[in-house]
Amino acid sequence: MIDFPQDSDFYINNIRDFVPSKIFDAHVHLYNTKHMNNHDLPNINTPQNVGINFFEQIMDQFLPGREIQANCFPFPRKTLDLDLANKYIAEEVRGKPGFFHQMLISPQTSVRQIQTMVDIYGFRGLKCYHLFSKRKITQNSLIQEYLTEEQVEFANTEKMTITLHIVKPKSLADPENLEVINRFAKEYPNMIIILAHAGRGFNSWNTINGIDSLQRHENIFFDTSAITESGAFQAIINSFGHQRLLYGSDFPVSHILGRCIRIADEFIWLTAKTLQDFSKQNNINGVVPTLVGYESIMALKEAAVLMNLSVNDIEDIFFNNAKNIQAFQ
């Protein structure tokens, strides 16, 4: 079953009084593992069916007593059957007030296919991902190699959201990434770009160094998902204002024990196993990690404290900013 810390002290002491009563989670993965090959499953301890009921059950333990709405999309995998995964998402959110869904697309997904799925299943946005690029090393992909101009144009016409996980070593500080984001935002003002993971700010300096070259278009937003150091959040709030930052859990990645940290110009993930090995090698008491989702909230809390955000500002990030986007209304 999915990971949880050994006790609730960390939540009670650090999280409980910070998180507002109403949450819109802008970054949620729902999936059924039968839609992907067995060798290609997410490295997360979940059941086969990670649907709405499971999400609500786990989130009620994660953030007890909160009213939660969400933006949901499939978990990208190379072998994923996109058609089945998208239909699964649509069925999961059907009839669930406050739950919205984005269609996972590849560069081969035609506008006609998207239109059909929107007409039948009511998708409010698109989710693209570098794994569907034709590059051998997809982490080096240009944005336009996994999100086509025609797809963006369609999203603009339909006033949809696009959750964009950029890649390349410098992430938001990469000139080619910046050029494409700026152009898309300017030429297609009716669609909303949500830059996932604070503009892929796992190494916060990439977001810090790049954000001033990102033009202040009204249709650029960022989500907080799985970012566990506060620098990227501070850069976004400083440059764009707190109104452009959306809370996202990255469920179920949120329920891995560990965190992501900057190392030189890179970033690495510290997991429960790496910390256990470190403790053994150094003959010290075990370093007990908490959930990635809690670490991300703590990074957001740090940014809020250091930037003197008000209670209302924090409520905006967790709920109101997303609900001000037409596709989430």
| Confidence (pLDDT) at 272 | 84
Q: What is the pTM of this model?
A: 0.96
| Confidence (pLDDT) at 7 | 59
| Confidence (pLDDT) at 230 | 99
Region of 295 on the Ramachandran plot (φ > 0 left; ψ -120 to 50 alpha; else beta): alpha
| Confidence (pLDDT) at 276 | 80
Instruction: Kindly give, in sequence order, each residue whose CB lies less than 8 Å from that of residue 249, ignoring residues fewer than 6 positions away.
Output: 25, 27, 28, 59, 62, 225, 293, 296
Contact 204, 237 (CB under 8 A): no
| Confidence (pLDDT) at 5 | 66
Domains and CATH numbers, the chain: 9-328 (3.20.20.140)
Contact 328, 124 (CB under 8 A): yes
| Confidence (pLDDT) at 176 | 99
Which residue from 95, 154, 139 is spatially nearest to 121, judged by alpha carbons? 95
Q: Could you say which residues of the chain have pLDDT below 70? A: 1, 3-7
| Confidence (pLDDT) at 280 | 74
| Confidence (pLDDT) at 103 | 99
